[in-house]
């Protein structure tokens, strides 16, 4: 499914970032390895940026569904049917 692909792309960024940090801290690392890790780190940053929209969208959907489930429970256990007016929020 699309979810596994996006999650795989999402974890590529932190893994390459950690590997690039290890290569940078290692004193005897050849320059070719540093260049390769810089390219992989740039690719990891790009994939992380691409998958950020999916993460934000799925978090927004999860918030909406959890709030709707809360309203369903309120409706089940009370007589009052809850209404939410986002134009006039009352606390």
Asked if residues 50 and 9 have their Cβ atoms less than 8 Å apart, the reply is yes
pLDDT value of residue 61: 93
7, 8, 44, 45, 78 from 54: Cα distances, Å: 9, 12, 16, 15, 36
pLDDT value of residue 4: 82
pLDDT value of residue 1: 67
pLDDT value of residue 63: 93
pLDDT value of residue 65: 94
The dihedrals phi and psi of 84, each to the nearest 5 degrees, come to: -115, 120
Average pLDDT, 10 consecutive residues per value, the chain (91 residues): 79 86 88 89 85 88 92 88 78 65
Question: CA 15, CA 8: separation in Å to the nearest integer?
Answer: 11
């Amino acid at each position: 499914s699309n979810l596994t692909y996006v999650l795989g792309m999402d974890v590529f960024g932190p893994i390459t970032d950690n590997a690039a940090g290890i290569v940078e801290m290692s004193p005897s690392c050849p320059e070719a390895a540093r260049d390769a890790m810089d390219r992989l780190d740039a690719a990891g940053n790009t994939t992380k940026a691409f998958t950020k929209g999916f993460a934000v969208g799925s978090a927004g959907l999860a918030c909406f569904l959890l709030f709707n489930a809360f309203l369903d429970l309120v409706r089940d256990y009370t007589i009052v049917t809850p209404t939410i007016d986002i134009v006039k929020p009352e606390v």
